[in-house]
């Protein structure tokens, strides 16, 4: 049996539309107009035990709404979901002891007290024994390198240090399912790398099933072999990151350095000039024309160095979303 099973899950929001001004307010007393928005539109997928899956989409695509339904915070408008065999929004105690939701923009720690005090509060909430508590805190603080910070008030910690404490608080009861919503948001590159390495190791050693949303493609590329792509509430792709790149990759990039300055206008006949800095240029050309563009550069211009690159995956996904209509959910 899959750890997470989602079948035609749907969440619709109904919003009151009122005309501006006093007259609009009076009209709404007698006849109210509503607009319905499908934040999640019949999404279906499965996750097996131990999978670490990336959940991608632009702002408003429906990622957070989906995670909130899988954690039981929101009740869906339709469809079904089973997590560890439970219906999440029924909020059974046995279910709540086996999953965790970490949201990068929300804190579960008390800012004015040390992180250890918040961890002890979670220990009581989840009924963790003292022996298990010491084992888990010792293990996680060592992996995250925060042993000396446990007695420091949370407000005095850096953003990266607070995020590490948030992960400790969420993993204290050793959940089988971990839902991560932008866990590295706002962190510097060093902290992002530390969080990624920790998640990769924890997933590998504990076989915890992880569903991860992130706008940082470095997170997805480092951690996830499989990705789900959602836009305007609809699931548009479910497969490997390599297959996703192949589906959207239509262009290649030709990077050239010249022995003397070359006007950008002279290069535009070969492809779109993405960057032009000094004697260096970056062109985007159709995949089938990359070799010919490189040949023409070598023939017509004083080229000192030349290379053909794949378009970065984050650019491919961004371009794919920009061809769609605006967002539907959150």
pLDDT tens readout for residues 24-64: 677 777 777 777 788 999 999 999 999 999 998 888 889 99
Across the chain, what does the average pLDDT equal?
88
The count of domains in the chain is: 2
Q: Are residues 105 and 229 in the same domain?
A: yes
Q: Are residues 42 and 158 in the same domain?
A: yes
Count of C-beta atoms within a 10 Å radius of residue 314: 15
Q: Are residues 174 and 209 in the same domain?
A: yes
Q: Are residues 161 and 44 in the same domain?
A: yes
Specify the pLDDT at position 322.
65
Count of C-beta atoms within a 10 Å radius of residue 120: 17
Does 198 fall in a domain?
Answer: yes
Does 329 fall in a domain?
Answer: no
Does 185 fall in a domain?
Answer: yes
Residue at which a domain ends, from 246, 273, 295: 246
What residues make up the domain containing 228?
4-246
Query: How confident is residue 185, by pLDDT bands cut at 50, 70 and 90?
Result: confident
Q: Are residues 57 and 84 in the same domain?
A: yes
Average of per-residue pLDDT across 147-175: 92
Give the whole-angstrom CA distance, residue 4 versus residue 211. Answer: 10
**CATH number, domain with residue 99:** 3.40.50.300
Specify the pLDDT at position 287.
83
As given in the structure block, the two tokens for residue 159 are 């953003």
Specify the pLDDT at position 326.
43
pTM of the model: 0.78
pLDDT at 15 over 80: no
- β-pairing, 272-277 vs 280-286, is antiparallel
Specify the pLDDT at position 300.
92
Average of per-residue pLDDT across 299-306: 92
Q: Are residues 134 and 266 in the same domain?
A: no
Rounded (5°) CA angle 286-248-38? 140
Residue at which a domain ends, from 201, 219, 246: 246
Does 328 fall in a domain?
Answer: no
Average of per-residue pLDDT across 8-37: 77
Query: How confident is residue 324, by pLDDT bands cut at 50, 70 and 90?
Result: low
Specify the pLDDT at position 241.
83
Specify the pLDDT at position 25.
72
Residue 174: HSE in the Cβ half-sphere, 13 Å Cα cutoff: 13
* Percentage of residues in the chain having pLDDT higher than 70: 94
Does 320 fall in a domain?
Answer: no
Q: Are residues 148 and 261 in the same domain?
A: no
Specify the pLDDT at position 188.
85
Q: Are residues 99 and 148 in the same domain?
A: yes
Specify the pLDDT at position 261.
87
Q: Are residues 135 and 198 in the same domain?
A: yes
Q: Which residue has the tokens 């995250």?
A: 144
Specify the pLDDT at position 327.
40
């Amino acid at each position: 049996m899959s750890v997470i099973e989602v079948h035609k899950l749907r969440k619709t929001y109904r919003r009151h539309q009122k005309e501006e001004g006093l007259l609009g307010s009076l009209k709404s007393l007698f006849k109210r107009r509503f607009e319905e928005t499908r934040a999640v539109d019949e999404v279906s997928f499965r996750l097996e035990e131990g999978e670490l899956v990336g959940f991608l989409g632009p702002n408003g695509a429906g990622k957070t709404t989906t995670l909130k339904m899988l954690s039981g915070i929101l009740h869906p408008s339709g469809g079904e979901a089973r997590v560890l065999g439970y219906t999440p929004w029924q909020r059974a105690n046995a279910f709540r002891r086996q999953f965790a939701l970490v949201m990068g923009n929300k804190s579960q720690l008390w800012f004015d007290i040390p992180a250890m005090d918040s961890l002890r509060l979670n220990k009581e909430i989840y009924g963790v024994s003292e022996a298990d508590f010491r084992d888990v805190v010792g293990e996680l603080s060592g992996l995250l390198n925060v042993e000396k910070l446990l007695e420091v008030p949370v407000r005095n910690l850096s953003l990266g240090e607070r995020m590490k404490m948030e992960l400790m608080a969420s993993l204290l009861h050793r959940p089988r399912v971990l839902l991560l919503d932008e866990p590295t948001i706002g962190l510097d590159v060093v902290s992002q790398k530390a969080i990624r390495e920790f998640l990769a190791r924890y997933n590998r050693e504990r076989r915890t099933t992880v569903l991860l949303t992130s706008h940082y493609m470095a997170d997805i590329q480092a951690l996830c072999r499989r990705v789900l792509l959602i836009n305007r509430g609809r699931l548009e792709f479910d497969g490997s990151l390599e297959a996703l790149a192949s589906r959207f990759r239509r262009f290649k990039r030709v990077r050239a350095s010249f022995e003397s300055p070359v006007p950008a206008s002279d290069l535009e006949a070969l492809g779109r000039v993405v960057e032009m800095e000094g004697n260096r240029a970056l062109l985007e050309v159709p995949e089938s024309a990359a070799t010919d563009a490189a040949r023409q550069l070598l023939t017509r211009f004083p080229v000192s160095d030349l290379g053909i690159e794949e378009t970065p995956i984050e650019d491919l996904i961004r371009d794919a979303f920009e061809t769609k209509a605006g967002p539907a959910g959150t």
